[in-house]
Structure 1
Amino acid sequence: MIPTVLGEVGSGDLGRTYMHEHIFIATADVQANHPTDWGDDDTRVAQAAKKLGELAAQGVRTVVDPTVVGLGRNIPLIQRVAERVPELNIIVATGIYTYDSAPLYFRYRGPALNDMLGADVPDPMVDMFTADITDGIADTGVRAGMLKCAIDAEGMTPDVERIMRAVARAHHRTGVPITVHTHPTTRSGTHVKRVLCDEEGVDPGRIVLGHSGDTTDCDHLARLADAGFVLGMDRFGINVDLTFEERAATLVEMCRRGYADSMVLSQDAACYNDWIDPDVLRLLTQWHYLHLGEEVLPYVRERGVTEKQITTMLEDVPRRVLASSDGRRKGSR
């Protein structure tokens, strides 16, 4: 059984699944003090429900929303959206998103106190992540079905490594899979392998290397897939460093090489994202929830990607990743 915002569903009921889509990305402190373009909650919820309803009408049955601490996770708002689109399963995540430093809350908690106290202090992150999975997030009753961390161009900073190890330990307690924001240009997936797999013992088959489609280096992607990782080809529509054609060509080539069973698809889109100026967002005309269905899939079909491969990437692999291998999600602490 997989936890969603509206309750558990069987893994066989996930259907066509987008493994990396946000609903709201918001900078909490800024929005609380300078709510310039958010407007009101009711309007934002209605807009999100409309866009997600259109996605569901395309045949998508499930989305994973990896919005965690550092991205403005707001589960009560997500609950309101989910109630308006009950035909779409929404799976939420727990973890911390940063490219360099952990939130200041953790600076003098946990391992940061080891030298000061001369003792091995447990990391509170592990209990926090575990509780989000086993008990529910805050007092909402909504349980997380995915763990999330990040490594970007800044590399494996001490805090990035700390969060990654906390995610690994929560994974071992709960069996919940992990998605990692990666930076394939710097081949950060190799660092993920060292920390999460080689040192923390996480099965790479339970890890999605997010944003793998940000590179055209298919040899590098093939090596990661051969190591057992799932590749997130999940930024279709963000045609900035790569063009639409380059992203699609990478997917086509990886399918040609036989790696459909190592990939998942998505767009990393959102209904609201305050990280980018609205005028800039409007220039990214293909970055929206419907892009995959309307433009990407027809394009890659014409270039040899089969219906079986599409089903594998959009249904079979997500189901394999999301289904807990040991049923420890509930009450495991």
Structure 2
Amino acid sequence: MSAVRTVLGDIRPEELGVCDAHDHLFLRSPRLPGQELDDTSAAQAELEAFRAAGGSAVVQWTPYGMGRRAAGLPPLSRATGVHLVGATGLHQAAHYEPELVDGLRGRLAEVFVCELTEGIGTSGVRAGLIKVAGGFHALDAHTRWTMTAAAEAHHATGAPIAVHLELGTGALDVLDLLCDALGVPGHRVILGHLNRSPDPVTQRQAAESGCWLAFDGPSRAHHATDWRMPQAVRDLAEAGYGDRLLLGGDTVVAGARSVDGGPGMPYLLRRVRPLLAAAVGAELVDRILTEHPGQAFAVDWK
């Protein structure tokens, strides 16, 4: 039976409820010095604000080596009543010290599989997805290595693969590699940030593969998200791809949290939801927030 693997255990897809399909509670990177998401109290307050806005599930895409705090996720889920899904995977090389990456050579897929099936470190928390990343209009050697390992881990477990697209670019190259070359079914791939490069032709071509398009980071107006999102969602729906969409907040720095003065997770429901409902109708938006995440992240776990 298909199940979504949360930090408290597997649940039925319909139990997720209203879901932020791409966000972060904890994250650190040398590319974001001094802006780390590392405050447990702030993370709990943000989840409580999201819950108060009508949310009931958050998928955290923070991968290996970027301060996931896996052991801290179950207490947060219990305290707030919000389902949490954690990730394994590996981001771009720039987010790590070279020694960490070198230490994973020859065993990356094994690490992914272990974190999906046995648990992250000693926490016992099992990941529910694999997060990898492309580059700007290109797939470098690091990307090909991580995506090959992700595909191997997918074939071993069934886990979905979520992909950071740098500034929304490279979607078709990613699909050529993951789906065509490495045999990952399109519906097991989630493309993040595709909306940051608002090319309707590429968006439709990506949707044709059967993959999921995650319109995430809606508060980042400088990434051409908020003001173009309604039209993009409408165009995809009218082309027959309304059933391929997900929504997420992608909060990556402390100042972006609602409890620290930013839009944060509640913005997805407080502002984006009615904005999209005016463009495509509340019924579709409700499905994007509830049914679609269950379909995208539910797996017949091997």
Query: TM-score under structure 2 normalisation?
Result: 0.89
Taking the aligned partners of 1:106 and 1:184, their CA distance within structure 2 comes to 23
Summarize the alignment of residues 179-190 of structure 1 with structure 2, pairs less than 5 Å apart.
179-183=162-166, 186=169, 188-190=170-172
Amino acid at match of 2:189: I
1:310 maps to 285
1:92 pairs, out of 86, 91, 95, with 86
Taking the aligned partners of 1:290 and 1:214, their CA distance within structure 2 comes to 20
1:18 pairs, out of 17, 20, 41, with 20
1:201 and 2:217 matched:
no
SS at match of 2:223: coil
Taking the aligned partners of 2:187 and 2:225, their CA distance within structure 1 comes to 29
Amino acid at match of 1:91: V
Amino acid at match of 2:60: D
Taking the aligned partners of 1:241 and 1:13, their CA distance within structure 2 comes to 32
1:233 maps to 215
Query: Are the aligned partners of 2:257 and 2:264 in contact in 1 as well (CA < 8 Å)?
Result: no
Query: Are the aligned partners of 1:16 and 1:60 in contact in 2 as well (CA < 8 Å)?
Result: yes
1:151 and 2:145 matched:
no
2:270 maps to 294
Amino acid at match of 1:75: A
SS at match of 1:244: coil
Sort the Cα spacing of 1:259 and 1:76 in 2 relative to 1 into closer, same or farther, 3 A. Answer: same
Query: Are the aligned partners of 1:45 and 1:80 in contact in 2 as well (CA < 8 Å)?
Result: no
Taking the aligned partners of 1:293 and 1:142, their CA distance within structure 2 comes to 28
Sort the Cα spacing of 1:286 and 1:297 in 2 relative to 1 into closer, same or farther, 3 A. Answer: farther
Taking the aligned partners of 1:38 and 1:190, their CA distance within structure 2 comes to 31
Tell me how large the CA RMSD over aligned residues is: 2.8
Taking the aligned partners of 1:26 and 1:101, their CA distance within structure 2 comes to 9
Query: TM-score under structure 1 normalisation?
Result: 0.81
Summarize the alignment of residues 108-123 of structure 1 with structure 2, pairs less than 5 Å apart.
110=105, 123=106
Amino acid at match of 2:113: T
Taking the aligned partners of 1:140 and 1:285, their CA distance within structure 2 comes to 32
Sort the Cα spacing of 1:148 and 1:29 in 2 relative to 1 into closer, same or farther, 3 A. Answer: closer
Task: Report the Cα offset of residue 108 of structure 1.
Answer: 6.8
> Would you say how many aligned residue pairs link Structure 1 and Structure 2?
298
1:214 and 2:208 matched:
no
Amino acid at match of 2:152: R
Query: Are the aligned partners of 2:158 and 2:301 in contact in 1 as well (CA < 8 Å)?
Result: yes
Query: Are the aligned partners of 1:101 and 1:160 in contact in 2 as well (CA < 8 Å)?
Result: no
Identity of aligned residues (%): 26
Taking the aligned partners of 2:40 and 2:181, their CA distance within structure 1 comes to 42
Sort the Cα spacing of 1:243 and 1:129 in 2 relative to 1 into closer, same or farther, 3 A. Answer: closer
SS at match of 1:180: strand
1:254 maps to 236
2:206 maps to 224
Amino acid at match of 1:11: P
Query: Are the aligned partners of 1:99 and 1:152 in contact in 2 as well (CA < 8 Å)?
Result: no
Taking the aligned partners of 2:131 and 2:36, their CA distance within structure 1 comes to 25
Query: C-alpha offsets along residues 48-85 of structure 1, whole Å, 9 cap, x if unaligned?
Result: 11211121122222111010125322212333422321
Taking the aligned partners of 2:44 and 2:261, their CA distance within structure 1 comes to 20
Larger radius of gyration: 1
Task: Report the Cα offset of residue 313 of structure 1.
Answer: 1.2
1:166 maps to 149
Listed as ranges, the gaps of 5+ residues in structure 1 are 111-122, 329-333
1:61 and 2:37 matched:
no
Taking the aligned partners of 2:104 and 2:77, their CA distance within structure 1 comes to 35
